[in-house]
Amino acid sequence: MKNSQLLLALLCFGFINLNGQQSQQLVLPNNSPDYSNLYLWAAHPEKSDSADLVPRGSELVNGQDLAKVDVFFIHPTTLTKKKDKRWNADLNDEKLNLRTDKSTIKYQASIFNGSCKVYAPRYRQAHYRSYDEFLKNPENPNVLSAFEQAYQDVKSSFEYYLENFNQGRPIIIASHSQGSTHSQRLLKEFFDGKELSEKLVAAYVVGMPVKASQYEELLPCENADETSCYNCWATYGWGAKTKDYHEGTVTTNPINWKRTDEYASREESKGMVIRPFAKIKKKLMDAQVKNGIIWVHKPDIPGKIFLIGKNFHIGDFNLFYMDVRYNVKNRIDHYLKKQESKVLSKAEE
């Protein structure tokens, strides 16, 4: 990583010493994940995990016990070490699993625990280098195989979730980075023009470019209240130039939840959460949609002097921790009211 990306990782995700924690390893039958085993869930309502946490000293509450909606969260790449030559993660890799749990599950998936039961599968994620290699050669069989294996695990876990855990409840799809590579395909195969779309409260497909044209019926959210739609954004420092792959992509402002270029000030920001997950820092982020990305001014946080780069990808979610948390609850409230109205209308017929 570049220095700025490393600092953001430390500030935003709080990576820690990975030694010393033990848990039962799972031998995978026929090299196929068995998602009936809770070991293969980084977050699950029936186990104690990092998605249950709320920032210390805050008034936030883990409301999963009473939640009427599920979130299916697909975590980003945590298999990033350059010396690691694997193309895909080993689900029995204890250090990697703990790295995932103490970073993205803690600082991203926990956003949803106020209003949702949190499900986050472990999957044989592709190594970070896969993206670099794909840009060099999109036909590289190792790259294609790595992403395919990762997606098939995600798909398998989602199918198991639907059959065994969901019980007809409304669903939120949330993802970041590599997770969003896979969630885009999941939305296409399971929701776009499908019956299951009626159960979709909203999707938060964050950190990867999404073209509106890739879906036939599923549409981007246009405001903070809309449901059965999706939100996307990629966070950059003010004045950053748009990459070619961001041109013409769906972009949501995660403060005012609009897709226009209307500026959202720091006064509107509901709060971020950074290391050490101990305090909500309010009114530090602004945001404006600019040519397929969002621009933000450097937040006033410890170590900001070292934030030399303008790619704030690592903080796409937790720099807007409270903004997303409030928006999730708001969309759920609107979705449930719509469902109640439908039931009443049918009863009156």
Residue 340 main-chain phi, psi, to 5 deg: -65, -40
> pLDDT-based confidence at 223, cuts 50/70/90?
very high
Statement: residue 267 has pLDDT above 70: yes
Interacting residues of 43 by C-beta distance below 8 A, sequence separation 6+:
49, 50, 51, 52, 73, 105, 109, 118, 119, 120
The helix (H) or strand (E) run that includes residue 81 is none
pLDDT at 302: 76
pLDDT at 1: 46
pLDDT at 63: 97
Statement: residue 347 has pLDDT above 80: no
> pLDDT-based confidence at 10, cuts 50/70/90?
low
pLDDT at 301: 81
Going by their DSSP bridges, the two strands 69-74 and 171-176 should be labelled as parallel
pLDDT at 343: 80
Tokens of 239: 């004045």
Structural domain count, the chain? 1
Question: Could you read off the pLDDT of 243-256 as tens digits, one per residue?
Answer: 888 888 999 999 99
Q: How many CB atoms lie within 10 A of CB 190?
A: 19
User: Residue 53 is part of which domain span?
Assistant: 3-348
Question: Could you read off the pLDDT of 89-130 as tens digits, one per residue?
Answer: 999 999 999 999 999 999 999 999 999 999 999 999 999 999
Q: Return the bridge partners of 121, or none.
A: 41
Question: Could you read off the pLDDT of 48-85 as tens digits, one per residue?
Answer: 999 999 998 899 999 999 999 999 999 999 999 999 99
Amino acid at 299: P
Mean pLDDT of 174-182: 98
pLDDT at 74: 98
Using the 8-state DSSP alphabet, how is residue 287 labeled? B
- Let me know: does 238 contact 296? Beta carbons within 8 Å: yes
Statement: residue 16 has pLDDT above 60: no
> pLDDT-based confidence at 5, cuts 50/70/90?
low
pLDDT at 306: 60
pLDDT at 12: 60
Beta strands in the chain (DSSP E): 41-43, 69-74, 116-121, 171-176, 200-206, 219-220, 229-231, 235-237, 272-273, 280-281, 288-290, 293-296
Statement: residue 7 has pLDDT above 60: no
Question: Could you read off the pLDDT of 183-221 as tens digits, one per residue?
Answer: 999 999 999 999 999 999 999 999 999 998 999 999 999
Interacting residues of 347 by C-beta distance below 8 A, sequence separation 6+:
none
- For the chain, give the mean pLDDT: 90
> pLDDT-based confidence at 14, cuts 50/70/90?
low
